[in-house]
Amino acid sequence: MNATIEKDNRMRQTAVLQPAGGDRRLRLPERQPELTASVAVAHNAVAIKLGNSTIAMTTMSDGSPTDAGMTAGKPLKVSVAQVLIYELRVRDAMTRPPVTAGPGDSLRTIQHLMKTHRISGVPILQNGVPVGLVSIEDIINALDQGHVNEPAERWMTRNIVTLRDHFSLVRAVAEFDRHGFGRFPVLNSSGELVGVITRGDITACLMQQLEKRAEEAAAREAALFSGQTSDLEQTKSLVVQTEVKSGDYDNAGKISQRMRQILRARGVDPNIQRRAAIIAYEAEMNIIIHSIGGDLSIVISPGKVVIEAVDRGPGIENVDLAMQEGWSTAGPLAREMGFGAGMGLPNIKKCSDQFEIHSEMSVGTRLHCEVLLSQAAPPPQPGEPNEN
């Protein structure tokens, strides 16, 4: 990272993330094959973008972190920021081991160190204790004023501010904004110099974590759909299984869309396709809205589709009530998004050829639905006059 970039308060780094496993067959069709991610560490704020949407936004004031996402009423967007900015520590992002020099080393020597290691600041150690720092600005001044051959101790910055390696990155960004320095020496709990951190290190670390996450997600999806190449073999049973997280509205519907593609490829009647898709989508939404998390599994065999949704709780207090149209226990956020009409379970039942639900409080709910693929025409559904 060079000095000119570090002086800029708005740093930006963009990378194109390729999902792990370059094998095209494992990719989700009709999805963007690549993901553009960017992390911007700007004045008092860190924004993480995936494609066009900001997935995480965090601001700081006075070093005390507050979460912009929360106050803007979008708690869904916060989780990634919390993990990345709050959980990551200075020690995760810093450059180590630090390149150091002694007080007697000349500025010329330090300039060569900077050039060799492509760094922009060198802490000066005396008996293992940091006593100063020579930055690229000091070197430029030395060259300008002709004292580049003098020892570091004459020209180094003495009152250095250090960070501890256990500080969160959110605090580090706040410190950069507060002091306006390009870099901080990092000390461990024993006060020993263990690294140097720049804004560029933070950006790179966030990018790396983001890429890791994207790769993990891609690997999960690849594993999920690894049976894809044999989808068209009508005689084979295909299992699609995925974990569904509570509150994960952003990924809802992907499984049912994937199932639709398989059913379409197998030439299943469009009405039957839609019924199976509605069951899978509503079942997934139920886990997202009402449970603490669960699993959705879809088994597509030649004769039928079996959709099973199993969550880990809290359980439905009164299943008969839940089966009534219009009854809903959805919270305000879900309702705001147009969920919680109290029609989910009735919809699922209406679309199923076989429907079973068992729920136990503090254990969870198991939903088992079957849709027959071989039957000629499904019974007409109420409220669907246009479908045959």
Partner 1 sequence: MKTEKLKKLSSVLAAIKAEPLTNRAEADLTGCYISDLLSDVLAHASHGMLWITIQTHRNVISCATTKDIGAVLFVCGRKPDPGVVAEADAEGIVLLSTKLAAYEAAGKLWEAGLR
Query: Which one among 4, 145, 159, 388 touches partner 1, defined by CB under 8 A?
Result: 388
256 lies in the site for partner 1, by CB under 8 A: yes
Q: What gap in Å lies between CA 259 and CA 24, rounded to an integer? A: 19
249 lies in the site for partner 1, by CB under 8 A: yes
- Are the C-beta atoms of 89 and 105 separated by less than 8 Å? no
36 lies in the site for partner 1, by CB under 8 A: no
51 lies in the site for partner 1, by CB under 8 A: yes
In the block, tokens 């670390």 appear at 205
**Minimum distance from CB of 373 to partner 1 (Å)?**
17
- Tell me the backbone φ, ψ of residue 102, rounded to 5 degrees: -100, 165
- Are the C-beta atoms of 36 and 14 separated by less than 8 Å? yes
Q: What gap in Å lies between CA 172 and CA 218, rounded to an integer? A: 30
Concatenated DSSP letters of 19-59 = PSS--GGGSPTTS-SSEEEEEEEETTEEEEEETTEEEEEEE
β-strand pairing of 129-135 with 163-164: unpaired
Q: What gap in Å lies between CA 137 and CA 259, rounded to an integer? A: 59
Binding to partner 1 in span 313-352, by CB under 8 A: 337-344, 346-347, 350
**3-state secondary structure (DSSP) of residue 187:** strand
- Are the C-beta atoms of 197 and 172 separated by less than 8 Å? yes
Binding mask 53-92 for partner 1 (x = CB under 8 A): x---------------------------------------
* End-to-end alpha carbon distance in the chain: 65
Query: Which one among 77, 260, 290, 304 touches partner 1, defined by CB under 8 A?
Result: 260
Question: Interacting stretch for partner 1, rule CB under 8 A, among 89-97, 215-223, 297-305, 379-387?
Answer: 379-387
- 95, β-bridge pairs: 196
Which of 155, 98, 122, 119 shows the shortest CA–CA distance to 5?
119
Binding mask 277-316 for partner 1 (x = CB under 8 A): xx--xx--x-------------------------------
Question: Interacting stretch for partner 1, rule CB under 8 A, among 11-19, 28-36, 219-227, 304-312?
Answer: 28-36
**Minimum distance from CB of 278 to partner 1 (Å)?**
5
**Minimum distance from CB of 72 to partner 1 (Å)?**
14
181 lies in the site for partner 1, by CB under 8 A: no
Q: Residues interacting with partner 1, by CB under 8 A?
A: 30-32, 51-53, 249-250, 252-254, 256-257, 260, 270, 274, 277-278, 281-282, 285, 337-344, 346-347, 350, 383-388
